[in-house]
Amino acid sequence: MNKDTIQGDLKIIAGQIKKQWAMLTDDDLKYIEGRKELLIGQIQKRYGIAKEKASEQVQKWSDTVKASLRA
């Protein structure tokens, strides 16, 4: 996998995050930088939901993304 492929995958993932959680901004995504716990925290903050709920959403989303990248 070369650098262009990895950057392309990251853009796809960022787009999927924004599609799933539209209230997250580009600045949020830069802050998160692929760290799951920060994503959960930003979802909590933007949507006003409990950490457990945000964590469940992220895990479900992550499983879906991983499956689609393998396909």
Cβ–Cβ < 8 Å for 63, 56: no
Q: Which domain holds residue 58?
A: 3-70
The enclosing domain of 37 has a CATH number of 1.10.1470.10
Q: How many domains does the chain have?
A: 1
Amino acid 6: pLDDT: 47
Q: Measuring CA to CA, which residue among 26, 16, 1 is closest to residue 58?
A: 16
pLDDT in tens, 34-50: 788 999 999 999 999 99
- What long-range pairs does 58-61 form, CB within 8 A, spacing at least 24? 61/16, 61/17, 61/20
Chain CA centroid to CA 31, Å: 12
pLDDT band (50, 70, 90) for residue 3:
very low
Amino acid 71: pLDDT: 66
